[in-house]
Amino acid sequence: MRSLLLIGGTSDIGTAIARRFAREGRPVVLAARDVGEAEAAAADLRHRFGVPARAVALDVRDLEAGLELVHGLEPCPEIAVAAVGWLPEQAAVREDPEGVRRVVEVNFTAPALLLAALGRRMAEEGVRGHLVALGSVAGDRGRASNWWYGAAKAGLHAAMEGLRQELLDAGVRVLTVRPGFVRTKMTAHLALPPFLTSTPEDIARLVHRAVTKGRSGPLYPFPWRLVSLLVRLLPASLARRI
């Protein structure tokens, strides 16, 4: 069985997805900037599921290193999940060039570029694989509280939609997960509404089912497809007040 590559190898949602696939015997490669933490997660996968699992160092802001990694993996992975993300305080990055560069690179440029490179490799090598990008409903509409993050995620959604069309004939599927609220270290400081909040394991189950069924397109946990639709349809005057 070909491997699953997790870009953002220490992400709470990403590692839950990796565990879900490792359970059925799939080898895993965890690419993370904290290679020690990723290696501990890889050891856990080896121990629990008896699968080959390893960690590799990658800071996704080093785009050349990212490309070298995805071109160097042998054999080409069958599933690639980009779970990198950075949700800063909007006020802290609003007009800070370095903060803006980082929020766009981590949430948009790097995942889009690395998934595109893997998609091309899959197509060229005849691997009918799956690309999974972690997007966000924050990308559905600009909001005063997080519009740099939301704009970067909107860019990722558009890139994945284009990639999905480009790779359709090669049989490579592209999923864009828009998970709503998920209780992880990214949101640990936020008060999230329990009835709208998923666990990383909920999202992992959703992704596993969609990949297994060969689905492509946006993917939402219940009831976020409806929430997202309403958010997009709201007139601007009303959206401002909610």
Ligand X SMILES: NC(=O)c1ccc[n+]([C@@H]2O[C@H](COP(=O)([O-])OP(=O)(O)OC[C@H]3O[C@@H](n4cnc5c(N)ncnc54)[C@H](OP(=O)(O)O)[C@@H]3O)[C@@H](O)[C@H]2O)c1
Residues known to be catalytic: 149
| Total binding residues toward ligand X, as defined by CB under 6 A | 27
DSSP 176-241: EE---EE-STTTTTS---GGGEE-HHHHHHHHHHHHHTT--EEE--TTHHHHHHHHHHS-HHHHHH
The answer to whether residue 166 forms part of the interface with ligand X (CB under 6 A) is: no
Q: Are 90 and 114 in contact (CB under 8 A)?
A: no
Q: Which one among 85, 88, 150, 221 touches ligand X, defined by CB under 6 A?
A: 85
Choices 27-35, 40-48, 92-100, 124-132; region in contact with ligand X by CB under 6 A: 27-35
**What is d(CA 82, CA 32) in angstroms, rounded to the nearest whole number?**
11
Rule CB under 6 A: which of 210-229 touch ligand X? none
**What is d(CA 134, CA 175) in angstroms, rounded to the nearest whole number?**
9
Choices 9-17, 46-54, 162-170, 221-229; region in contact with ligand X by CB under 6 A: 9-17
The answer to whether residue 184 forms part of the interface with ligand X (CB under 6 A) is: yes
User: x/- binding map, residues 93-132, to ligand X, per CB under 6 A?
Assistant: -------------x--------------------------
Choices 19-27, 32-40, 114-122, 164-172; region in contact with ligand X by CB under 6 A: 32-40
DSSP summary character for residue 16: H
> Which residue bears the tokens 């590799």?
56
Among 162, 71, 161, 157, smallest CA distance to 122 is for: 71
- Minimum CB–partner distance for residue 124 and ligand X (Å): 26
Q: Smaller CB distance to ligand X: residue 127 or 139? A: 139
Q: Are 133 and 156 in contact (CB under 8 A)?
A: yes
The answer to whether residue 182 forms part of the interface with ligand X (CB under 6 A) is: yes
